[in-house]
Structures are given as C-alpha cells and as structure tokens.
Homo-oligomer: A and B are copies of this chain.
Amino acid sequence: MAKQEQSGGSILQFAPFQSFVDEGFWHRLSSLKLNKLGIDDSPIPVTGFYAPCSHSQVSNHFTLLSESIPSNESEQCSVPAIPRSNRNRCSVPGILYNTNTWEAYHALDKKSLLKEEAKKIWEDIHTGKAVEDSAVLSRFLLISFADLKKWSFHYLFAFPALVFDPPATVVGLKPASQWFTLEEADSVSAACNDWRNSNLTAGWRDLLRVPNAVGWELNKGRHISRVINLAKSMDPTMLAISAADLNLKLMRWRALPSLKLDKVSSTKCLLLGATLGCQVARMLMAWGIRKITLLDHGRVAMSNPVRQSLYTLDNCLNGGDFKAMAAVKSLKEIFPAVEAEGVVMAIPMPGHPVSSQEEESMLEDCRRLHELVDSHDAVFILTDTKESRWLPALLCANANKITITAALGFDSFLVMRHGPGPLNSTHDLKAEPENALSADMDSLAMADSGAERLGCYFCSDVVAPTDSTADRTLDQQCTVTRPGLAPIASSLAVELFVDILHHPNGIFADCEIADSSNSGSSEQPLGILPHQIRGGDRESEKRKRIPAPSN
C-alpha cells in the first residue's frame, strides 16, 4: 500500500497496485482446476508479489506467477515452498474465487467479497497481526472464470483500501528514530500493545464498525473484466494435446471419476489391419491412447476413402499409398502428438501355400509379428479373413495380451475379447519346462477348469482355418457390408477395451499388482457397455453370427 500526499490537503489516499499476471499462473490454475478441483469452486489462497516503488505518482507492479498457486500435495516434495519475501519481491496474501461458469462469474457479489477482505484487514489491524506481518494490510482479491476449453481467462483484481469516515489524514510521518531513542521507542510500543490487549479496549473494539472499502482495479478506466487468451501464444501441438486431454479430464469431474487416464495413455496398442483400424485408431486417440502401431500390407484402393476414415482420394493415386503409412500420416494430421507407427507386412496365414523360396521371409514375418505382439500391451485383430487372425490369436494368448477381435459380415458383426493364455489362468510358473512355448500350447489345449477363462475367436469354431480368399466372387471379395457396421463395431471394440483396462477382474488386473497406487477396493469398473466383461463370463461376449470375411 502506497501513500500519496495531495498537494492541497492531508487526506490519506492509496495508490492502487497495477496488476500483472504471468501466463504460468493461468497454466497452473488450469491444471489445478482440471486435474484436482473439478467442480469444487471453494476460494483458493494465492500469493501475490510486488516490488515497492520509490516514486510517488507511479503505481507498484503487482504480479501473480505460477508459484502464486499452492502446489498440489503430490508435488510438494519436488517444488520448493514460496520463496521468502525480500526487498524487491514482497509477498502478499490473497484469495481467488474461480467460478465454474460464466454466469456464476458475473453473478459474484463483488461488493460483499470486497467487504469481506476489508474486514480481514480491519481485524488484522486490531489483533496486531498487521504489526507482526504488514503484508496482511495489502491483501488482495481475484475473481476469475477460466474457460479451459478456449484457454481464455476472464478476471478482475481488487486491492481493498479502507475508507474512513471522517477520512484519515496524513500527518508528518518521520521514522521513530527521529523522535525517540531506541529505549523510548520500545517502551512506547510496549505500552501500546498493553493498552490494545487490555480489557479497556475490548468494548471499544466491538463498537467499531468495519469501514467501507474500495479497490476494484479499473480496466481502461472502467469496471470491466480483463480477459486473456493464451491460445494465441501457445504452440498448436501443445494446444491440441491440452484440448484432447481436456475432454477426458472433464469426464473425471463427475461423469467418470474412476477413469484412469495415465494408464490409458501409456497403453501401447497394436492394430492388425488398417481397414477397421481406421476407426479403431481414431477412437483410441479420442480416449487418450497415444501409442498406436498399425500393421497392414495393402495399399489404399479407390473404394476405401468413403468407408475408411483415415484416407482421401490423394492416397489412391499412382497405385495407392500403403495403408499403414497413409493411416499414420493421417493420425498425425489429426493429432500431432500421437506416437503412431506403420508396419507394412502381411500376416502369415495357415492354408495359404508358401513356396520354398518364400519360406524364409515367411518365417521372418512370424518372428516380426511375435516381437510386435510382445512389445505392445493390447492387440486389436481387425483383419479381413479368418485365417489371418489365427497366428495373432495364438501369439496374444501366449503373451497374455489384451486381445480384441472385430469382424464384419454384410449385416452382422462380431466384437469380442479373447481370454488370456494358459500362463495367466494358472499362474503356475514353477513347473516350466525347457520348451516353454510348447508347454504353453499344451496347457492351452487343456480343458478349462475354472471360471476365469474366456475363449478366443477360434474356440467356438469347428473347422481349422483355411484359405478363404480363393474362389471368391467380387461380391464376396469386396467391402460388401452395410457401411454403418465398421464404425459401430470399431467403436464398440474400443469402448470394450477401455472397460477392460478399468475392470478390477479384467486381464489387466495382474499388471496392477505392480501398481501400488491402484489397490483393490478403490477399483471400480466403468460398467457401462452391455458387453462389459466379468472374468470368465462367456455370456457377456457380444457375439453374433460368424461373419463372412470381407475386405
């Protein structure tokens, strides 16, 4: 609080602070609101900083920085406490009212809020707190509406100044050292304190009414909100990330508090087939999955763009781009922060003849697919023939990956979760023989003893997979499905996947043993889709009739 002597009078006046808010403050507020507070709009204690100005007639700059907002508890270990004040950086306590809505922001009773702060100052003067810490005399008030969707912040500061009646007048202030010796000063001070704390002043204090206060900061001379839009100064990719995360984090406020975004975003997904893979990849990105690998050996054909949402006509020219590569390029145009990779490779298939000169490269493909399955957490089997699902289904069962199959018929579709492999269902690792893989397969072939075990795509099949592509007429070769089925099946596959990630009895539960922050009782399944899977409940598989292969 600065004092200003009027040329012609002696009334005490206050030179207002001039506020400045660092962008870091708004970023910290956004993070606090989005990740921790949710719809809780209780006042937030904040700290402002100013450097006293030696010139009268010049307002002091008052600054809010990112450290003005108290750290989250989890961050307290690493982030240092607010630095102590020094001559050039005096700290001031304040309070922030950040509303949930634009309407609530405008409905704030600014007069009452200011009065409340004035009362604190008045009380601090009377309790002597102001003597111990003069910063409480400069207390400030900030009201805001943070439109996190637009990175736009509406706000208004108040620096409460008490208005006395009759007005306080300025006396010739001089340092006490000019009037008293050090001993005399101590004695006066002690006498004042005694008097203030004595019974004599108790009644007197009660009689005092809190004086009125002024101090809402003007914006271009008027009492209107300031607004800052950070989007303009932010990198587009960063904006895209925060925007995509925004929708997901908002889910956690009320709709889905159990959503585990960290787990979801760190899951690596392998998509086999870039036809249904288009919609699956889009939905995964929308749920916050950031690591996506797309495998396909085909090229984008002219008939693809109207049905497969990651391709345009440009991808079809000059023989067509590889689907895996075109899809990855498109994903990055949608969301540049996605870690997407394309793999151009055919999946080895039983029943398809392999010539002797192709044998080595086919075995290499098997090895490569094995490695891909091992290096991902979840596999979506989205290919267009039954036999191309065979090897991936085995590899996934063997490696205990989350495995989801989606397949289309003309007017039917199948979306199902594969059960885990034998290691997961038995947890019996002690008897592991030399040839672990063949033992796994033996074990896989054994009858299921418990309720924990789900089947795979082939478990209800009675014929071995064979070459289904030979001798197919055009209407069997092409994408002859009702167009709506691909997005419906793909979306259900991803919703099912997200449910599995969250289910306490899901296959992922094993992985959570190592994750101490997620212990049993707090786990709640998302529990929304009808095909949500309880461990071993075969009824819950959403299985319609076996679809005819399509492309």
**Interface residues in chain A, defined as those with a beta carbon under 8 Å from any beta carbon in chain B:** 38-39, 100-101, 103-104, 147-150, 231, 236-237, 239-240, 242-244, 246-247, 250-251, 253-256, 279, 282-283, 285-287, 301-303, 305-307, 309, 311-314, 316-317, 330, 333-336, 410-411, 470-475, 477-480, 482-485, 487-488, 490-492, 494-495, 498, 528
Contacts and interface: CB of A to CB of B under 8 A. Distances in A.
B312 A239 contact: no
21 contacts: A103-B470, A103-B471, A147-B474, A148-B474, A149-B478, A239-B316, A240-B305, A247-B479, A251-B480, A282-B306, A282-B309, A283-B484, A285-B306, A286-B306, A305-B335, A306-B334, A313-B336, A485-B491, A487-B487, A487-B491, A488-B491
A492 B489 CA distance: 11
Contact of A244 (B286, B303, B317): B303
A434 B372 CA distance: 73
Given A250-B478, A282-B309, A528-B482, A243 B491 contact: no
Given A253-B474, A482-B495, A488-B491, 11 more contacts: A101-B470, A250-B474, A255-B410, A286-B483, A287-B483, A306-B335, A314-B333, A482-B498, A487-B488, A487-B491, A488-B492
Contacts of A475: 38-39, 250-251, 253-255
B236 A313 contact: yes
A101 B474 CA distance: 7
Contact of A484 (B255, B333, B477, B494): B494
Most buried by B among A253, A307, A335, A336: A307
Contacts of A316: 236, 239-240
A487 B279 contact: yes
A482 B303 CA distance: 30
A411 B301 contact: no
Nearest to A150: B301
Contacts of A473: 39, 100-101, 253
Contact of A302 (B240, B314, B333, B494): B240
A535 B407 CA distance: 32
Nearest to A255: B410
B335 A250 contact: no
A411 to B, nearest CB: 5
A397 to B, nearest CB: 26
Given A307-B286, A411-B255, A471-B101, A243 B302 contact: yes
B312 A333 contact: yes
Contact of A307 (B247, B314, B411): B247
Contacts of A104: 471
A312 B286 contact: no
Contacts of A103: 470-471
Nearest to A307: B286
A358 to B, nearest CB: 19
A548 to B, nearest CB: 9
Contacts of A243: 301-303
A247 B253 CA distance: 44
A474 B335 contact: no
Given A236-B313, A484-B495, A247 B286 contact: no
